[in-house]
Amino acid sequence: MIKLEKLNNIATVTLCRAQKQNALSFEMFVQLKKTINNIKQDRSIRAVIIKGEGEHFCAGLDVAGVMASPFNIVKLLFKWLPGNQNLAQKAVLGWQSLSVPVIAQIDGNCLGGGLQIALGADYRIVNNNAKLAIMEARWGLCPDMGANVVLSGLVKRDHAQWLASHANPISAQQAEQLGLVTQLTDDTQTATHTMLNTLLERSPDTLAAIKRITQQSYKLNQRKILAKETFSQVRLLLNPNTKKAIAKAKGKTDITYNNAKRW
């Protein structure tokens, strides 16, 4: 479900589940981790492209499929120490650990976990007709894949909070205004390769140094953020309001939430 191709020192990573708009299964998280490690060990790779098979980048988490197995949820969220990255967070922040440029080539829907993976890339080339969203709140959950670590360097705090809270898709043009988009285009493949051609003219050591310096200049307390993401998600999974939110997302209208707990 995750295809890795290496050609001319470029690694292309494709989310291959087109019949479900490349929605993320548990197995895809495992394969993404292995793919990132594979690229990291290959010193011939100069750049990475992440894209979706077919018309869409990624419709987000396959909620029904992943939540059908409580053990898979545990494996997605488990970490030895609170500040460590769990499996879900590695699917986002793993791209940041690579020393080479990573470009997300976004067409169609880029929703929920799909947008978080795209935020883990260094650049986002987005089709003018694309739709983007952070959708976890629709299911009574919070963004917990590590995107908060990079989002603070892209979007103002109130916009980030509103984006995660309303949980509705926004247009590519709105996403560009917020700072989520590197470049808008009608042809993501051509635009991606134009960017690649420019990057490949530079020394790989220069690009690696620039990436690390830029990351450091925007870096907050990553371990504290990752710990808070996972703690909050586990608490929400055990919260009765989350079950009500899931029912509401499935179309049930007569939902009354309990009073909020103190956070």
Contact 111, 60 (CB under 8 A): yes
pLDDT at 12 over 80: yes
pLDDT at 90 over 80: yes
Residue range 2-205 in CATH 3.90.226.10: yes
195 C-beta neighbours (distance < 10 Å), count: 19
Q: In the prediction, which pLDDT does 256 show? A: 84
Q: In the prediction, which pLDDT does 236 show? A: 85
Question: What is the average pLDDT score of the chain?
Answer: 91
Domain layout of the chain by residue ranges: 2-205
Q: Is 1 helix (H, G, I), strand (E, B) or coil?
A: coil
pTM: 0.88
Distance of CA 261 to the CA centre of its chain: 28
pLDDT at 164 over 90: yes
pLDDT (tens digit, 9 = 90+) per residue, 109-148?
999 999 999 999 999 999 999 999 999 898 888 888 888 8
The CA distance from 233 to 20, in Å, is: 25
pLDDT at 153 over 90: no
* pLDDT tier for residue 170 given thresholds of 50, 70 and 90: very high
Q: In the prediction, which pLDDT does 246 show? A: 79
Q: In the prediction, which pLDDT does 262 show? A: 66
